[in-house]
Amino acid sequence: MSSQGKTITCKAAIAWEAGQPLSVEDVEVEPPQAGEVRIHILYTGICHTDEYTRSGKDPEGVFPVILGHEGGGIVESIGEGVTSVQVGDHVIPLYTAECRECKFCRSGKTNLCGKVRETQGKGLMPSGTSRFRARGKPIAHFMGTSTFSQYTVVAEVSVVRVAPAAPLEKVCLLGCGITTAWGAVTKQPGIKDSTVAVFGCGCIGLGVINTARDVGASRIVAIDTNPAKESWAQKFGATDFVNPTKLPEGTRIQDHLVKIMDGGLDFTFDCTGNVQVMRAALESCHKGWGVSTIIGVAAAGQEISTRPFQLVTGRTWRGTAFGGVKGRTELPGLVEEYMAGKLKVDEYVTHKRTLAQINDGFNDMHGGECIRCVVDMA
Ligand SMILES: NC(=O)C1=CN([C@@H]2O[C@H](COP(=O)(O)OP(=O)(O)OC[C@H]3O[C@@H](n4cnc5c(N)ncnc54)[C@H](OP(=O)(O)O)[C@@H]3O)[C@@H](O)[C@H]2O)C=CC1
Ligand SMILES: N[C@@H](CCC(=O)N[C@@H](CSC=O)C(=O)NCC(=O)O)C(=O)O
Ligand SMILES: [Zn+2]
Ligand SMILES: [Zn+2]
C-alpha cells in the first residue's frame, strides 16, 4: 500500500538535549507540503559539524532535533508543485539550497541562497513548521536535511537528483565534506603551480590536499597534531607533513612555515575549526599575495584575530561554505566525475555503522582514525 499522502512512522536518531547521545526511536514524518519532497534516506555520513551541533557548540543549535546533512536516498513522495524531482529518483539533500531566483542565486557571486536559510537556521521548514514528531512533541529539522532519519522532508530547492547507477553508500558523502573541499580549491583561482598549506587532515583537509594535487599545486604542506595523519596526507597528495606539537619549544607553526617556505605559502586552508589555527593559517601566507581560506566551523563565542598589519601587507582572509558549490547545478557532474574514476570518494570511508550504532559512529570520529563513517539507515 502506498505511503504517499500519509504520515510515516520510522526510526530516527534524535538529539533530545545538547551534549547527550542520540536516541534511536520512532518518529512520525508528515507528508511533504507544497514545494517539499519526502525522501527515504538509505545512507548518511557523519560530519564533524553534526558533532559540533550535538555537543552544544552551535549558536544556532535547536533541540530536540534530528541531525545529519550528508545523506543519500530515494524520493518517496513529492508535494504540490514540485517539478525538479520525481518519486523514485535517487537524490542527495542539500544544506546549501539553490533556488535560482533569489538575490544571492542571481548574483553569480555566491552559492549561498536566501530562499530557505532563515527558517532552516531555526530548525523549521519554509512554512515555519516541522514535519517531525516524536513522543508527541515537534522535533526540529537540521540544516534543511535531517538525514539521521529513515524518512526526511526537505524543500525542493534543497535536493538534487543524481545518477541512479551511483552507489548511495558512497556518493552520500558528496552531500558535504568531499564537495566542500573540492569546491574550496577548484573555485579559488591560481592554485596551479602554487604552494599550499592545509591545516587539519580530516575528510575536509584530505579533500583539499587531493584537489590541490589534481589542479597542479607545486607543493602541498599538510599540518596536523595527530601523527597518524601523516600517511593519510601523503596518500592524498601532500608533499610535506608538519606536526606542530613536534616543533622545538616556543616555535610557532606560522613562523616555521614562513621560514621553510621562502617567506610563506601562496594559499592556506583551515580545516580544523580552531580559531588559533585559523590565525596561524593566515600568518603562514606569503606577504603581498597569500590567501587564507577558512573552512572549519568555530564554536559559539569564538572569534578570529590577527594584527591588521597582516592584511595591510597583502594577505587575504576569506571563507567558504559548501566550497562555493551550487548543489543542484553542480552535484550531478561531481557524481559523474566519481563514476568515471576521476574523483576519490571510496577512499574516505574508514568506518561503517548501522542506525542503531550511530553513537558509536560519533565515537569513531573522536578516535583519531576515522575519516568518514557511513551509517546504513536500513
Ligand atoms: N565550511 C563548510 O562548508 C564546512 C565546514 N566543515 C568544518 O570543517 C572542519 C573539519 O571537518 P572534518 O574534516 O570533518 O573534521 P576532522 O575532525 O575529521 O578533522 C580535523 C583534523 O584537524 C586536526 N587538528 C585538531 N587540532 C589541530 C591543530 N591545532 N593543528 C592541526 N590540526 C589539528 C584533527 O586531529 P585529531 O584527529 O587529533 O582530532 C583532525 O585530524 C570542522 O570544523 C567542520 O565543522 C565541514 C564541512 C563543511
Ligand atoms: N550554525 C553555525 C554555522 C555553521 C556553519 O558554518 N555551517 C557551514 C556548513 S558546515 C558543514 O558541515 C555553512 O555552510 N555555513 C553557511 C550557512 O549558511 O550556514 C553558526 O551559527 O555559527
Ligand atoms: Zn558537513
Ligand atoms: Zn536562491
Start-to-end CA distance of the chain, whole Å, equals 19
Angstrom CA distances, 129 to 29, 124, 154, 185, stand at 12, 5, 12, 37
Q: What's the pTM value of the predicted model, to 2 decimals?
A: 0.98
Distance separating alpha carbons of residues 367 and 52, to the nearest angstrom: 16
94 Cβ below 6 A of ligand 2? no
Atom of ligand 2 nearest to the CA of 47: 12
Count CB neighbours of 226 within 10 A: 14
60 Cβ below 6 A of ligand 2? yes
Q: Is 70 a catalytic residue?
A: yes
Residue type, 110: T
Q: Is 113 a catalytic residue?
A: yes
Atom of ligand 1 nearest to the CA of 223: 31
What mean pLDDT is reported for the chain?
98
Contacts of 264 (CB under 8 A, 6+ apart): 257, 258, 284, 285, 286, 287, 290
The residue whose grid cell reads 610535506 is: 240
**pLDDT category of residue 376 using cuts at 50, 70 and 90:** very high
Closest CA to 10 of 66, 80, 83, 92: 66
| pLDDT tens readout for residues 308-350 | 999 999 999 999 999 999 999 999 999 999 999 999 999 999 9
Ligand 4 center to 120 CA (angstroms)? 13
Mean pLDDT along residues 220-231:
98
Of 10, 28, 51, 99, the active-site residue reads 99
| pLDDT tens readout for residues 100-153 | 999 999 999 999 999 999 999 999 999 999 999 999 999 999 999 999 999 999
180 Cβ below 6 A of ligand 1? yes
The answer to whether the CB of 67 falls within 8 A of the CB of 94 is no
Atom of ligand 1 nearest to the CA of 319: 1
Q: Contacts from 136-143 at CB under 8 Å and sequence distance 24+?
A: 137/64, 139/12, 139/14, 139/27, 139/64, 139/65, 139/66, 140/62, 140/63, 140/64, 140/65, 140/66, 141/65, 141/66, 142/50, 142/53, 142/65, 142/66, 142/67, 142/68, 142/69, 143/49, 143/69, 143/95
Residue 363: its pLDDT value, please? 97
Residue 324: its pLDDT value, please? 98
The residue ranges of every structural domain in the chain are 8-178+324-376, 188-319
Residue 205: its pLDDT value, please? 98
Cell of 185: 580549491
Mean pLDDT along residues 91-97:
99
Of 38, 47, 76, 353, the active-site residue reads 47
Whether the pLDDT of residue 356 is over 90: the answer is yes
Give the number of the ligand closest to the Cα of residue 179. Answer: 1
Residue 1: its pLDDT value, please? 78
Distance separating alpha carbons of residues 231 and 228, to the nearest angstrom: 7
| pLDDT tens readout for residues 176-215 | 999 999 999 999 999 999 999 999 999 999 999 999 999 9
322 Cβ below 6 A of ligand 2? yes
219 Cβ below 6 A of ligand 2? no
CA torsion 221-226-232-238 (nearest 10°) is 0
Count CB neighbours of 299 within 10 A: 14
Ligand 1 center to 293 CA (angstroms)? 14
Q: What is the DSSP letter of 46?
A: -
Give the number of the ligand closest to the Cα of residue 276. Answer: 1
Q: CATH for 188-319?
A: 3.40.50.720
| pLDDT tens readout for residues 243-271 | 999 999 999 999 999 999 999 999 999 99
269 Cβ below 6 A of ligand 1? no
Q: Is 99 a catalytic residue?
A: yes
Atom of ligand 2 nearest to the CA of 322: 14
Ligand 1 center to 348 CA (angstroms)? 14
Atom of ligand 2 nearest to the CA of 297: 6
Of 30, 70, 76, 169, the active-site residue reads 70
User: Which of the pair, 293 or 366, is modelled with greater confidence?
Assistant: 293
Task: Find the helix or strand (DSSP H, E) in which 258 lies.
Answer: helix 253-260
Mean pLDDT along residues 69-76:
98
Ligand 4 center to 345 CA (angstroms)? 28
Whether the pLDDT of residue 274 is over 90: the answer is yes
Q: Is 105 a catalytic residue?
A: yes
Chain centre to alpha carbon of residue 323: 9
CATH superfamily of 8-178+324-376: Medium-chain alcohol dehydrogenases, catalytic domain (3.90.180.10)
Of 69, 141, 279, 315, the active-site residue reads 69
